[in-house]
Structure 1
Amino acid sequence: MKAALPIYHARMQRVLDHIDRHLDDDLDLDAMSGVAAFSKFHFHRQFVATFGLSVHRYVQLARMKRASYRLAYRDAQSITEIAMDAGYDAPDAFARAFRQRVGQSPSSFRKAPDWEPWLAAFGPLNNARSKLMQTTYTPHDVTIRDVAPTPVAIMKHRGDPATIGATIQRFIAWRKATGLSPTVSPTFNVFHSDPRTTPPAQYRMDLCVGTDRPVEANGERIEAGTIPGGRCAVLRVVGNTDNLEPAALYLYRDWLPASGEEARDFPLYCQRVAFFPEVPEHKAVAELFLPLK
């Protein structure tokens, strides 16, 4: 039984990966049961029992989540294009469904997203995905690297982590205005606070972009700084990169005490290597860095 369970979960994980890769395609039950190598007569009940969602609702939520990211962070794509990519034949049908799910029209969400209802709307999807995502790690997952110092431009987020989406939106707009594309300029987050123990109003995180150019504010509060070089323990997270807490907890609670290493006087930080929705969500990559003495 214990040996069979990981195999069963791996087959279900294949289904989620298939959905991520084929959100623009017709995702019928026959095809997905074949991906999992399960009987088509039982697959749907197995899926619901594993994830707590029907296949249809899971796909709807996955498409709507991708659409919401494109609305908030990809202003070059029209709402009509986003609606079609989400599987709707007309923008008004998409608008009704989006408002019902998120509480805002697509155009209103694009201008000023209300992130707290958004988090609630996609909680069932995130819960389903987390059931099979890796949340436990081993020492073999951690490497020690000597990293070079990186000059960065910094936009500070101060306040409730639930509102970080608005800061990300401003950060992306500022990067576009200054020509600091993620394809050529690395993206970092520096975590000054632990969200589990810090009151929401006092939460602190920095959004950073690597650049050795003079910093242009362009109407934003931008500071120049440096992510210092030195030895770091690095843990690579693939998939659910919105939630790095399990990886951070492993580094501090399990890996660091057993390693004989000591943490250096600089906060935990991550580099965003591959972003959703540019890549399917299961292929998003973040590397978490714990600076060491």
Structure 2
Amino acid sequence: MTLFNQDKDYIKRVNLALSFIDAHLDSNVLSLESVSEIALFSPFHFHRIFKSIVGETLNSYIGRKRLERAAAMLIHKKEFTITEIALHVGFSTNSAFTRAFKKFYNLSPSEFKNQHPYKFSKIGIVESKIGQENFMLESYFCNINNHLNWIEMNANIEVKQIPELHFASLTHIGVENIDKAFERIIKWAISKGLMQNSETRLARVFHDSFKITDANKVRMSISVLTKEPVLVEGDIHNLSTKAGKYIVGRFEITPQDFEKSWSGLFIWMHDNGYAKADSNPFEIYQNDMREHPEGKAIVDFYIPVI
């Protein structure tokens, strides 16, 4: 969804609401009244404007985000029990959480935790039953090995401390018209003289994961990396990533290889004993792929880890 086709002041205020929701998913303060107050709208007008811009009602959005956060915790936070996760994302009972989760993902939380592709163990090959289950498991580990081989051949990976980074960003939802969002942020950056700086880079920050969120609902920040926060207006907003430890993988890839690269990097993370931190992954582009002789992007992928 191309948000910059909407009223820019409305987008600015809805962005405030989205940030507030992200920060308070584990609390009981996300009523229509409280969120609309953050966005400086009356509840009546906010309900209509939020749905127009985001594509779903406030209650539907909050409910989905809570279940998706639970799914992410089931993948990355193995130390938490399902009951603890249910309470963390705002459910008062385990049974209510299980019903809602199963309705959303068609799997119970325990089934999701056990079947999700990021969960794997080489011991499982020895322990599995013979027959079809063994064949499926063998095929699954072959796929993991293919991803790891892909990473080894196509990426330079480091784990390093990254300082807080600052971006001027444009909110985009879904996978359609991403090129127009980049054109919009580039045009804005040129008008501010930012593209004349040799250190300026385009970037994309992911607020959702394609593994647990429908592609047409994934929220991204299409961004320009700046040395420090800059003066923004309208639908352009400042965004900062947290300082900390990151897995950084540099790839030289075609657009078709982005998904494989991200999947492989997350498998590498698990295979090397790292766990994802709570902040957002992001990409920083080091070239204009249109100028590459093979049409490839040179891009750094960042996964925050603990």
Query: Per-residue CA shift, 1:266-291, capped at 9, x if unaligned?
Result: 9723252647xx9xxxxxxxxxxxxx
- Aligned match of 1:269: 299
Residue in structure 2 matching 1:29, options 32, 38, 42: 32
Asked if 1:76 is matched to 2:74, the reply is no
Is the CA contact 2:285–2:297 (under 8 Å) kept in the aligned structure 1?
A: no
- Aligned match of 1:187: 247
Is the CA contact 2:67–2:101 (under 8 Å) kept in the aligned structure 1?
A: yes
How much identity, in percent, do the aligned residues show?
Answer: 25
Mapping of residues 202-281 of structure 1, within 5 Å = 203=260, 207=265, 241=281, 244=283, 248=285, 251-253=288-290, 268-272=298-302, 274=304
Query: Aligned with 2:43: secondary structure?
Result: coil
Once residues 74 and 18 of structure 1 are traced to their aligned partners in structure 2, the CA distance between those partners, rounded to angstroms, is 23
Is the CA contact 1:188–1:270 (under 8 Å) kept in the aligned structure 2?
A: yes
Structure 1 residue 144 displacement after superposition: 4.7
Structure 1 residue 191 displacement after superposition: 3.1
Q: Say if 1:63 and 1:249 are closer, same or farther in 2 by CA, change over 3 A.
A: farther
Asked if 1:40 is matched to 2:43, the reply is yes
Q: Which runs of 5+ in 1 are unaligned?
A: 116-124, 146-161, 166-182, 210-216, 223-238, 279-293
Is the CA contact 1:71–1:110 (under 8 Å) kept in the aligned structure 2?
A: yes
Residue in structure 2 matching 1:58, options 57, 61, 69: 61
Residue in structure 1 matching 2:174, options 127, 134, 141: 127
Aligned residue pairs: how many?
193
- Aligned match of 1:284: none
Query: Per-residue CA shift, 1:49-75, capped at 9, x if unaligned?
Result: 111100000001111111111100110
Query: Per-residue CA shift, 1:146-192, capped at 9, x if unaligned?
Result: xxxxxxxxxxxxxxxx7799xxxxxxxxxxxxxxxxx9753023335
Q: Say if 1:93 and 1:193 are closer, same or farther in 2 by CA, change over 3 A.
A: same
Asked if 1:89 is matched to 2:119, the reply is no
Structure 1 residue 112 displacement after superposition: 2.1
Query: Aligned with 2:249: secondary structure?
Result: strand
Query: Per-residue CA shift, 1:163-222, capped at 9, x if unaligned?
Result: 799xxxxxxxxxxxxxxxxx97530233353243x598xx4565299xxxxxxx9x9699
Once residues 52 and 69 of structure 1 are traced to their aligned partners in structure 2, the CA distance between those partners, rounded to angstroms, is 22
Q: Say if 1:141 and 1:15 are closer, same or farther in 2 by CA, change over 3 A.
A: farther
Is the CA contact 1:188–1:269 (under 8 Å) kept in the aligned structure 2?
A: no
Q: Say if 1:250 and 1:164 are closer, same or farther in 2 by CA, change over 3 A.
A: farther
Query: Per-residue CA shift, 1:9-62, capped at 9, x if unaligned?
Result: 101111111111111222111111111111222210111111110000000111
- Aligned match of 2:105: 102
TM-score normalised per structure 2: 0.49
Letter in 1 for 2:8: P
Q: Which runs of 5+ in 2 are unaligned?
A: 119-171, 200-209, 214-242, 274-278
Larger RCO: 1 or 2 (CA < 8 Å, sep 6+): 2
TM-score normalised per structure 1: 0.51
- Aligned match of 1:16: 18
Asked if 1:6 is matched to 2:36, the reply is no
Letter in 2 for 1:62: K
Once residues 19 and 207 of structure 1 are traced to their aligned partners in structure 2, the CA distance between those partners, rounded to angstroms, is 28
Mapping of residues 110-125 of structure 1, within 5 Å = 110-113=113-116
Q: Say if 1:142 and 1:67 are closer, same or farther in 2 by CA, change over 3 A.
A: farther
Once residues 57 and 15 of structure 1 are traced to their aligned partners in structure 2, the CA distance between those partners, rounded to angstroms, is 14
Is the CA contact 1:83–1:89 (under 8 Å) kept in the aligned structure 2?
A: yes
Q: Say if 1:90 and 1:126 are closer, same or farther in 2 by CA, change over 3 A.
A: farther
Q: Say if 1:72 and 1:240 are closer, same or farther in 2 by CA, change over 3 A.
A: closer
